[in-house]
Amino acid sequence: NTYFFIFLVTVIQKLATKTGEMQQQFAELNAEDNEYLSGVAPSLEFLVTSNDVTGSGASSTLLIFNNEKGFSPSNVESICRVGKSTKKGNRDKGYIGEKGIGFKSVFLISSQPHIFSNGYQIKFNEKPCAECNIGYIVPEWVESKKILPDIKKIYGRSKVLPTTTIILPLKDEKVSAVKQQLSSLHPEMLLFLSKIRRLSVQEANSNPKGSTVSEIAISSEKNYQERKNMHAESYTVHLSAQENGKEEECGYYMWRQKFPVKPENRVDKRAEIDEWVITLTFPHGERLSRGKQISPGVYAFLPTEMVTNFPFIIQADFLLASSREAILFDSPWNKGILDCIPSAFLNAFVALVKSSADAPAMSLVSMFNFLPANPSIPVLEPVRSGIKNKILVEDIVPCESHGLQKIFCKPGEVGRLKPAFWSILSKARESGVDLKNLSTHGSYILSSHFDKSTYNTVLSFLGVKSVSTEWYAKCIEGSNLVKGVNEQIYLEVLSFVADNWQNCFSGTNMMSIPLLKYVDRNNALSFWSISRATQRSDRLCIASEKKCIPWLISWNREFTSSNRLFVPPSTQEALQNFAQRTAVTQWLQSYAKVEAVSVYSYGLAVVNSLNCDRRPAIAFAHFLYQSAKKGHIESYHLEELCRAMPVIDSYGSVIKTRSSVLILVPAKGSKWVGLMGTNPWRNQNYIELSADYKSADSYAGIYAPEDQLLAFLKT
């Protein structure tokens, strides 16, 4: 019970010195030494009322309720003595109150504090007792039978009055400070009070609409784990805060670990302490606060005013400045505690990330937001750098796995991918491509759930860099991202390579992997590298018009001399509708020497490649005839190609130069042969066409009946 009053001691001390700092002192009603009946959830309630409960003439009264077992004779005796406390002997549990002022400090805000507990009804008066001329420490029995019923009425007739009630008729000049500080108690203070589970503050006015109620409570505490090998324990606390009917909740992962006090860090004020107990608290979600309160980063059982910029809370038995605003950084004791925080953090962080082997990867990466990625205040930078140094040598970063088992690696062993490539991999995985070997191309790959821009600051803190440019080529080839994907994904691969060609891939191993698809002359799918496509005379082609794609591919099988091969029709058709069509086409033309051809331009390439082989020459005539018939070539282009094409004479010779040559139709079936017999004008450069031009034949799978080709040539 004496510890119960340490709260009041420090409350008064702050009111006497700097009322703006009273919040921490209200919280010191930890009831650390109080005892509670089994099954009772320890609670602490503050109620400010305008009723003059004690009849002392006070304009406002502070009522404090605690559901402990109640006062004993030794407790009463303790608060009536100077320098005596039932708390002595418990110093090894930490120091919340250590100023040594005692319960008597309540007189700074109340001239007549009352205590109703376990049958005791006593009050103290700052005025000297008439019988002994002593004030402050002489208890007086309260005979009034009206006080307790009035308190019950204020507390609520339907509720059972807690065992212990402290009544403080407030001095007028302290009323506003008490109300202000009570209304701003930080919700998170309950995390580090070992027994109290619920704390409420209420201001009761005569007008119910003007009354305010706020409450902090630990709604659950679960997942307790003890780790004896490192003298640590962990558990999760769900804290709720309610104010005027509005309720918020946040879960906090608590890690408490003990460290031996080193000889060089011992100080007289903590001579009895042999172990530091450090608690690191990791909030899951938005931290609870009240209004625009700044969330403290450091607690010494109660909040200090230190804002660390760390995404976790530090609690330890720090030595504080007299104002409780900050810890004493020049204290060897505090330096020893701070030196232990990186080790405590590493142990807690490893437990958070790796504790649940079955947890989905996407849930693990959110834990990395607890890393102190952003700079802190200068005096805490050694803590931040200490944490970083320990994390960098730990297998802690989740990577893409070969199988179901998770893989964790050191940050320096892990590589990031470009977002566009992750998009490709995601679509490839959805389409059934096996990507389990993703981390076998020379670098462990950061988990796709982690490799996002939202984690850039954290990943920069960890020093996780991008994979080498060489990795992409290995992955594209090794993960079958050319041969094993649909056309849409394949074009996205080409688009990715094109977009990064100048800055990343030009001159690298990307030039030597089989990246380009084409159809060979046996209609089989084949592949070339960029190097192969650019270093020889043959060329890959795409049709400039969609309708001509299958047409040109079919006819190309007839003209081996053209040194032209076509991209597969499915690829070309997909490219026609591809969003980045222009960029991909330009890249193919510029860096893979791919030609975009029409029937006319393809015809020019073919006609220039024809040699003394008869069949291709006849085939070309059929090509022009069938192309004209299908409407694939303009008449003026057709005339140009007809003039340029070689012809086969009746002797089977290929006539390539035709500038001064006059052509006679084949003798078979013609009228002139009946009159002349043979070609009498041969020496005058008249040639007789081969009978092949008159015969029925099939080229590129298209049949031409007898005389149709010849009729075409006559026109």
Q: SS3 letters for 403-423?
A: CCCCEEECHHHEEECCHHHHH
Which of 344, 365, 394 is at the close of a domain?
394
What 3-state DSSP class applies to 537?
coil
pLDDT in tens, 636-646: 999 999 888 88
- Sequence-separated (6 or more) residues with CB below 8 Å from residue 57: 169
Lowest mean pLDDT among 10-14, 34-38, 292-296, 513-517: 10-14
In a domain, 199, yes or no: no
pLDDT averaged over the chain? 85
From CA 138, how far away is CA 152, in angstroms rounded? 27
The pLDDT value recorded for residue 503 is 94
pLDDT of 673 strictly over 70: no
Residues 138, 156 share a domain: yes
From CA 37, how far away is CA 34, in angstroms rounded? 10
What 3-state DSSP class applies to 179?
helix
Question: DSSP letters of 600-658?
Answer: HHHHHHHHHH--S-HHHHHHHHHHHHHHHHHT-S-HHHHHHHHHHS-EEBTTS-EE---
Residues 173, 285 share a domain: no
The pLDDT value recorded for residue 485 is 95
Residues 610, 536 share a domain: no
In a domain, 361, yes or no: yes
Which of 331, 366, 394 is at the close of a domain?
394
pLDDT confidence bin for 99, thresholds 50/70/90: very low
The pLDDT value recorded for residue 208 is 55
How many CB atoms sit inside 10 A of residue 218's CB?
19
The pLDDT value recorded for residue 607 is 92
In a domain, 106, yes or no: yes
The pLDDT value recorded for residue 29 is 39
In a domain, 195, yes or no: no
* Selected residue with higher pLDDT from 499 and 56: 499
The pLDDT value recorded for residue 680 is 56
pLDDT of 88 strictly over 80: no
Lowest mean pLDDT among 199-203, 541-545, 674-678: 674-678
Contact 527, 519 (CB under 8 A): no
pLDDT of 675 strictly over 80: no
Residue 57 has phi, psi (to 5 degrees) of 90, 10
Residues 244, 224 share a domain: yes
- Domain extent, residue 451, equals 404-472
pLDDT of 324 strictly over 90: no
Q: How many domains does the chain have?
A: 5
pLDDT of 93 strictly over 70: no
Residues 609, 597 share a domain: no
Residues 366, 327 share a domain: yes
Distance of CA 60 to CAs 5, 10, 331, 584, 601, Å? 20, 20, 42, 79, 99
Residues 580, 481 share a domain: yes
pLDDT of 713 strictly over 50: yes
pLDDT in tens, 266-309: 999 999 999 999 999 999 988 988 766 678 999 998 888 899 99
pLDDT of 329 strictly over 50: yes
For β-strands 232-243 and 212-227, DSSP reports them as antiparallel
pLDDT in tens, 222-242: 888 888 889 999 999 999 988
pLDDT confidence bin for 707, thresholds 50/70/90: confident
pLDDT in tens, 166-199: 999 999 998 988 888 788 788 888 898 878 888 8
Distance of CA 182 to CAs 21, 63, 211, 638, Å? 11, 12, 14, 96
For tokens 């003890």, what's the residue?
226
In a domain, 200, yes or no: no
Which of 472, 492, 507 is at the close of a domain?
472
Residue 146 has phi, psi (to 5 degrees) of -90, -25
In a domain, 192, yes or no: no
Residues 147, 219 share a domain: no
Residues 434, 549 share a domain: no
pLDDT confidence bin for 364, thresholds 50/70/90: confident
pLDDT in tens, 421-450: 999 999 999 999 888 778 778 789 999 999
The pLDDT value recorded for residue 265 is 97
In a domain, 354, yes or no: yes
For tokens 């994390």, what's the residue?
391
pLDDT of 23 strictly over 60: no
Contact 575, 581 (CB under 8 A): yes
Contact 30, 194 (CB under 8 A): yes
Q: What percent of the chain has pLDDT over 70?
A: 85
What 3-state DSSP class applies to 596?
strand
In a domain, 204, yes or no: no
What 3-state DSSP class applies to 3?
helix
pLDDT of 670 strictly over 60: no
pLDDT of 584 strictly over 80: yes
Residues 677, 649 share a domain: yes
Residues 116, 20 share a domain: yes
From CA 252, how far away is CA 288, in angstroms rounded? 10
Give the containing element (helix H, strand E) for 436. none
Residues 652, 672 share a domain: yes
The pLDDT value recorded for residue 236 is 92
The pLDDT value recorded for residue 663 is 56
- Sequence-separated (6 or more) residues with CB below 8 Å from residue 269: 95, 98, 319, 333
**What CATH number did the domain enclosing 163 receive?**
3.30.565
* Selected residue with higher pLDDT from 683 and 350: 350
The pLDDT value recorded for residue 411 is 96
pLDDT of 516 strictly over 80: yes
Work out the average pLDDT over 327-339: 96
Work out the average pLDDT over 677-702: 75
